[in-house]
Structure formats: structure tokens, C-alpha cells
Structure 1
Amino acid sequence: MKKIKPTIVVFGCTGTVGREVMRQLKDSDCIARGVLRSPERPYPVLIGTQPSNITYVSADLNSTGQLKEACIGADALFLLTATSPDQVEQEINIIDAAKQSGIKRIVKLSAPVVQSPAKVEVSQWHSKVEDYLSQNMDDFCCLRPHSFMQNWERNALTIQYFGKIYGALGHAKRNYVDSRDVATVAVNCLLAKDELKQRSIVLAGPQAISNLEMAAKLSRITCCKIEYVDITPDELFRQLTKKSKLPRWLATHIVELDDLAIKVPEPETDTITDLILRKPRIMDEYLQEYRHLFKRKPLWTLLF
């Protein structure tokens, strides 16, 4: 008797983790259906002209009807939306649509639980969604990764043109995990034959690294002097809102993450090896692979 391949719906398929989930599902015995927020959005993993197990649909995250259509006939769902004040409402919409469409399993990309005395509002958003998920789905798992190595790409501009890293982290260290390793854990959960036993999994990378140490690593990999400039939380907030033009909620989130690492020491060993049956990537591997993103550029090129 022929086996029917499972269909996996992937929300957030154009993001750092979601794109990698799609790429890995492409090499798996399943159908992967990426959900785009706009029909004009470029495909994160190209389909090509040959038969493929990758498909795409588009859906408005505020439309339960469109979300239900995106979930038709699927078996499992990867839940990830862009971090925003609308995140709780939109992810609850997806959970409702998944349940009404008969989806049996949801794997949500979440965040570590924040311990007192630190406060991170975005983690509270994740917590609200997790509570709703636990009340509406029997087979689910929430993945709680620490900081992604790929997040350093957001600092590429100041590194390339000014040789500077700005932050309010002091000498504290942050645990880093490669988003590709997180995606591997997610894919394993999505395709697991038996019901998921763990309702939440903390995903820590193999190292905790300070910004001073990151400056030294970047200096070595770019063959240029990169300096970490430690500033106050208030100054960091002003830079993010005035110079980088970030919305206040996002600037607050970045400041809160630095404060969290200062108040609550992050793990210095990984929790991923047993989940992916290999050692996770280390920061030096990531930087070597993507060193071109941090290479110094002449300041005048910003004008053109």
C-alpha cells in the first residue's frame, strides 16, 4: 500500500528560520506549503521547472477565511510570524484556522521564558500564544531558541562603514544558535511519526559570547579593526529610534534583550546535539561563511 506524504504548512516561510525550514523540507518525504503574506512576494525556495514537493499560497493573517484555505488538507503546521504588536492576534488566528482545518500538530517558534528581575515584552506575547495553543491543540511543541547568529547581519551597516558595534550589553554574554540548526529541530518535530512528548524545548547554542569578543572575532574575519562601543540603555534607545528609525516597541525590545543578558546569565553549552544528532554550528563557522556581509566599505559609498 502506497504511503501518502504528509503536507506541512509553513508560516513565516520568508524569514530567517522559515526559509531554512522550507529548504530542509524540500529534501524530505513530504509536501511543503509555504504561506506568503502577499502573492507578489518572491519565493524563498525556488520551485524550478521540474516536479517539486514545494508549493506556495498567499494569505492575509487577519483573515480567518484565507488562513483556513491555506491550511486545507494539511497534517502539520510551522507557526512563525514577524515580531510585531499584532503577533498575538495573528498567531491565534492561525491556530484557529489550523484547528478548524483539521491540522493535528503545530510547532511554534517561540522564545525563552524570561526570569525575574528581567522583563521582555515580546516574550510575554509569545507566552500568551503558547497558552492559547496548549488549550486548543493536543499535539504541539514550542521551540525556545536563544539569539540567532544571523541577527548579527542587522549590525552589518555600522560594521561595514564605521567599524563599530553599538550596544548596552557591557561585559555580559549572549548565547547564540545558528538558525539552520533551529530549523533542523523544527523539521524533525514536524515530521515525527509519534505524538510530540516535549511541549517546549530550549534551544541553546554551544557558546555564550560578549560583544567585546564578537568585535575581536569580526576584526579577525574581516582583517579590519572592529570596535565595540558600550553605551547606556537610554542612548541605545535614542540611536535605534532617531538614527535607525526603528519603531519604539522594537527599540525597546532590543534594549530589553541586552538587559536580560546582564541580569540573567545565558547558557554556555548547547542543548541541541541530542536533537539533531550532531554538534551544532559555532559562531566562527557562521562568520567564516558570511564574512562578506561584514567586510569594511568606504564611507563615501553610502552616498551612492
Structure 2
Amino acid sequence: MTILITGATGNVGRQVVNQLVNRGAELRALVRDPARANLPAGVQTVQGDLLDVDALRRAFEGVSTLFLLNAVVPDEFTQALLALNLAREAGIKRVVYLSVIHSDRYLNVPHFAGKFGVERMLEQMGFGATILRPAYFMDNDHSIKDVVRNYGVYPMPIGNKGLAMVDVRDIAEVAAIELLRRERASEPLPLARINLVGPDTLTGDAVAALWSAALGRTVAYGGDDTAGFETNLRNAMPQWMAYDMRLMAERFITDGMVPEAGDVERLVQLLGRPLHSYRDFVHAVANATAA
């Protein structure tokens, strides 16, 4: 049988595809432009998106397991509801869904609330699902490396409660493991949730200290100015998304993204190796910058 991947050409989805190809899985990907998808040989493609009902019906034919990843867009919730209804219509019972950690707590943050709604739908529709709940992607900080390097400031307003930043490589490998576990089970397995976190829970000052050590000069934490954060983001994204990100940052400051007891140990056991650390991420960026 076949595993269908949505979001296959994005940062997470592409790595999930590669992990599954390396494990010999039969894959299909829903993509907007197959000619530009640049996926590994042997991966089938269906042209379309998560609002294209006819394309979804074609994509779901003969599929046994679904990896559902949809981007932060205004109609993200609608996309997921359409996909899951059509998946059930096609007889698909096994799903791995990429949600977000604390989706049930950050309910004033639009994309968190939407993902929690999808989690509830998975439960109520009776899917055998793994809900992956990643913390803040450390890879997002590629976007601010020039600010850190050129101005000596870590600009993300993450506060002093701490974030357990996670590496996309760890997210993708756990996703592949769970997809194959469900795909190869004789019967659909019970619903499960997995928090995807990094090995360390870091404050703004701690992150700045790691950059300082890696670059060999002082980097300061830029502080908790979420209004300024929103203003800066408006230069790179729509107003609604910048405000969504501001609301998320405000919850970083008031709540943090702290793992539950046993989260790190569970992931290490699942992967059979240590988790990638933010310290290693920072040193890799610093070394690439120096080269």
C-alpha cells in the first residue's frame, strides 16, 4: 500500500519523504507543480492542493496512510477538514498529523487553535492517528542569523520561561518512524500524541549566550518587544500572519514551550540517538558564515 505525503516540497515534508524513501516505503505526494517538485525517483505525484477536492480524491486512491501537513495560511483549518473528510471517504484510517506543542493551551493564537481543532476532529472521526506536536523550529533562526552576526542582537522575543527548540531533522525522522509503524500494523493503532522537543529548554539570554560563544563576540538578547516584532515581520509577510506570530511570541513570554516529563527520553529512545541541539545548530551556522 501507499503513504501519501502532503506538504512534500516544504522544509519538513521534503525530509519526511527522504526518510521514507531511504526506508523503502511506497510514496505518493500531493504537489502544486510536479515538474518543479524535484522529489526522489519513484515518488508518485498528484497535482493539486488541499482545497482541490477532485485532486484529493485522485491522490487518496489506493492510499493506506496519510501524512497531513498544511501550512500556516488563512484557510488552514478548512484545508485540514476537507482532507480528513475525503480521507475517510476513501477508507483511509491511518494518519500522522503535524500539529504544534501546546495547541490546547495557546488557544488565542490562530494557527495553534486551528491545529487543536484538527486534533479534535481526528479523535471524533475515529482515525488511528499519531499527532506530532513540535516546539519552535530551531531552523527558523536561519532567518535572523544576519541580524545576530551584523548587529550582535538575538531579535526573537522568546522570553525567560524557556523554549525546547527542535531540529527539523528530528521532526522528520519521528514522522517517518510513526508513518511506517502505522502503515505496517495489522490493524489501525490507537491515537497517540508525541511532543517533539529539543534536548535543552532555552531562554532568550541563554540563546544569546550560545551565539556569543559560537561567534566569539558578545550577542545580547533583544528583549520582549512583541509589538516591534510584529512591525518587523510585516516587511516579510501579510499583516494577519505577522499578528499571529506576535500572539505566539506573547505566549512564549508568558508560558514558554517547556517539555513534559519524559518527552526528551521518549524521543531519544524512539530515534536511538541523541537529539540535535540548538548549540550544534548555532555552531554550524557560525562555521558556515566563517567559511
The normalised TM-score by structure 2 is 0.86
- Which residue, 229, 234, 237 being the options, matches 2:230? 237
Maintained 8 Å contact 1:61/1:93: yes
Alignment correspondent of 1:14 = 9
- Which residue, 102, 106, 124 being the options, matches 1:135? 124
In the alignment, is residue 283 of structure 1 matched against residue 278 of structure 2? Answer: yes
Alignment correspondent of 1:219 = 212
* Deviation per residue, 1:37-78 (Å, 9 max, x gap): 2334332x432xxxx4x2322213211111111121111010
Q: Give the deviation of 1:152 after TM superposition.
A: 0.9
SS at match of 1:272: helix
SS at match of 1:99: helix
Maintained 8 Å contact 1:33/1:55: yes
Alignment correspondent of 1:248 = 239
In the alignment, is residue 31 of structure 1 matched against residue 26 of structure 2? Answer: yes
% of aligned pairs identical? 27
Alignment correspondent of 2:155 = 166
2-structure distance, mates of 1:102, 1:224: 57
- What's the RMSD between the two structures over aligned residues? 2.5
Alignment correspondent of 1:182 = 171
Q: Greater share of strand residues, 1 or 2?
A: 1
* Deviation per residue, 1:202-246 (Å, 9 max, x gap): 2222111122222222233344543332152222222222xx242
* Deviation per residue, 1:237-280 (Å, 9 max, x gap): 22222xx2422222222222222222224336624123223221
* Deviation per residue, 1:95-118 (Å, 9 max, x gap): 122222222211100012356687
- Which residue, 105, 111, 123 being the options, matches 2:94? 105
SS at match of 1:46: coil
1-structure distance, mates of 2:109, 2:22: 36
Summarize the Cα distance change of 1:127–1:115 in structure 2 as closer, same or farther, 3 Å threshold: closer
Maintained 8 Å contact 1:106/1:137: no
Q: Give the deviation of 1:121 after TM superposition.
A: 2.0
Instruction: Give, as a single letter, the amino acid of the residue that structure 2 aligns with 1:280.
Output: L
Q: Give the deviation of 1:165 after TM superposition.
A: 2.5
2-structure distance, mates of 1:200, 1:253: 24
Instruction: Give, as a single letter, the amino acid of the residue that structure 2 aligns with 1:205.
Output: G
Summarize the Cα distance change of 1:170–1:201 in structure 2 as closer, same or farther, 3 Å threshold: closer
SS at match of 2:164: strand
Summarize the Cα distance change of 1:114–1:140 in structure 2 as closer, same or farther, 3 Å threshold: closer
Instruction: Give, as a single letter, the amino acid of the residue that structure 1 aligns with 2:166.
Output: V
Instruction: Give, as a single letter, the amino acid of the residue that structure 2 aligns with 1:84.
Output: V
In the alignment, is residue 46 of structure 1 matched against residue 40 of structure 2? Answer: yes
Summarize the Cα distance change of 1:197–1:60 in structure 2 as closer, same or farther, 3 Å threshold: closer
Q: Greater share of helix residues, 1 or 2?
A: 2
1-structure distance, mates of 2:156, 2:280: 23
Maintained 8 Å contact 1:160/1:296: no
Alignment correspondent of 1:302 = none
SS at match of 1:61: coil
Maintained 8 Å contact 2:154/2:221: yes
2-structure distance, mates of 1:117, 1:240: 20
1-structure distance, mates of 2:127, 2:142: 37
Summarize the Cα distance change of 1:278–1:167 in structure 2 as closer, same or farther, 3 Å threshold: closer
Matches within 5 A, 1:145-164: 145-164=134-153
1-structure distance, mates of 2:130, 2:151: 42
Alignment correspondent of 2:201 = 208
Summarize the Cα distance change of 1:136–1:37 in structure 2 as closer, same or farther, 3 Å threshold: farther
2-structure distance, mates of 1:165, 1:108: 31
SS at match of 1:182: helix
Instruction: Give, as a single letter, the amino acid of the residue that structure 2 aligns with 1:267.
Output: V
Maintained 8 Å contact 1:72/1:101: yes
Aligned length: 283
Instruction: Give, as a single letter, the amino acid of the residue that structure 1 aligns with 2:200.
Output: Q
1-structure distance, mates of 2:240, 2:156: 17
